[in-house]
Amino acid sequence: MAELLTKRSTDYAQWYNDLVLKADLAEHSDVRGCMVIKPHGYAIWERMQQALDGMFKATGHVNAYFPLFIPKSYLAKEASHVEGFAKECAVVTHYRLKSDPVHGVIVDPEAKLEEELIIRPTSETIIWNTYRGWIKSYRDLPLLINQWANVVRWEMRTRLFLRTAEFLWQEGHTAHATKEEALEETRRMLDVYARFAEEWMAMPVIKGVKTASERFAGAEETYCIEALMQDGKALQAGTSHFLGQNFAKAFDVLFTNKENKQEHVWATSWGVSTRLMGALILTHSDDHGLIIPPKLAPLQVVVVPIAKSEEQMAAIAAYIEPVLKALRAKGITVKLDDDDTRKPGWKFAAHEFKGCPVRIAIGPRDMENGTVELARRDTLEKQVIEVIDLADKIEHLLQAIQDNLYQKALAMREAGTRAVDTYDEFKDVIEAGGLILAHWDGTPETEARVKEETKATIRCIPLDGERTPGRCMVTGKPSAGRVIFARAY
How far apart, in whole angstroms, are the C-alpha atoms of residue 222 and residue 460?
10
* 358 touches 330 (CB < 8 A): no
Question: What is the rounded distance in angstroms from the CA atom of residue 459 to the CA atom of residue 436?
Answer: 10
pLDDT tens-digit map of 43-74: 999 999 999 999 999 999 999 999 999 999 99
Q: What average pLDDT does the segment 192-217 reach?
A: 97
Q: What per-residue confidence (pLDDT) applies to 349?
A: 97
**Full 3-state SS string of 437-458:** EEECCCCHHHHHHHHHHHCCEE
Domain 417-486 has CATH 3.30.110.30: yes
Taking the C-alpha atoms of residue 241 and residue 271, their distance in angstroms, rounded to an integer, is: 9
3-state secondary structure of 252: coil
Residue 442: Cβ within 10 Å count: 16
The domain spans of the chain are: 2-284, 294-400, 417-486
pLDDT at 459 over 80: yes
Q: How confident is the model at residue 155 (pLDDT cuts 50, 70, 90)?
A: confident
Convert the pLDDT of each residue in 88-113 to its tens digit.
Answer: 999 999 999 999 888 899 999 999 99
pLDDT digits (tens, 9 = 90+) for 25-47: 999 999 999 999 999 999 999 99
For residue 171, give the nearest of 311, 31, 267 by alpha carbon: 267
With a cut of 80, say whether residue 1 has pLDDT above it. Answer: no
Q: How does pLDDT run across 331-371, given as a tens digit for each residue?
A: 999 999 999 999 999 999 999 999 999 999 999 999 999 99
**Cα–Cα distances in angstroms (integers) from residue 238 to residues 249, 315, 363, in the given order:** 26, 49, 46
pLDDT of residue 79: 76
- pLDDT over threshold 70, residue 177: yes
Question: With 90 as the cut, is the pLDDT of residue 200 above it?
Answer: yes
pLDDT level of residue 466 (50, 70, 90 thresholds)? confident
Give the CA distances from residue 323 to residues 26, 298, 330, 403, 474, in Å, rounded to whole numbers and listed in that order: 33, 19, 11, 24, 62
Work out the end-to-end distance of the chain between its first and last CA atoms, rounded to an integer number of angstroms. Answer: 27
**pLDDT tier, 2 (very low <50, low <70, confident <90, very high otherwise):** low
- In sequence order, the β-bridge partners of residue 336 are 303
Architecture of domain 2-284: 2-Layer Sandwich (3.30)
Asked, as a colleague might, if the bond just before 101 is cis with ω within 30 of 0, I would say no
DSSP designation for 6: P
pLDDT at 83 over 80: yes
pLDDT beyond 70 at 180: yes
Confidence of residue 208 (pLDDT cuts 50, 70, 90): very high
Partnered with residue 94 across adjacent β-strands are: 112
pLDDT at 164 over 80: yes
Give the per-residue pLDDT at 20: 98
In percent, how much of the chain has pLDDT > 90? 94
CA distance linking residue 22 with residue 290, whole number of Å: 10
d(CA 111, CA 93): 9
* pLDDT, tens digit (0-9, with 9 covering 90-100), for 218-232: 999 999 999 999 999
- pLDDT of 157 reads 87
pLDDT at 194: 98
Instruction: Write down the pLDDT at residue 484.
Output: 98
**Which pLDDT score is estimated for 440?**
98
Average pLDDT of the chain is: 96
5: three-class secondary structure by DSSP: coil
Domain 294-400: give its CATH architecture. Answer: 3-Layer(aba) Sandwich (3.40)
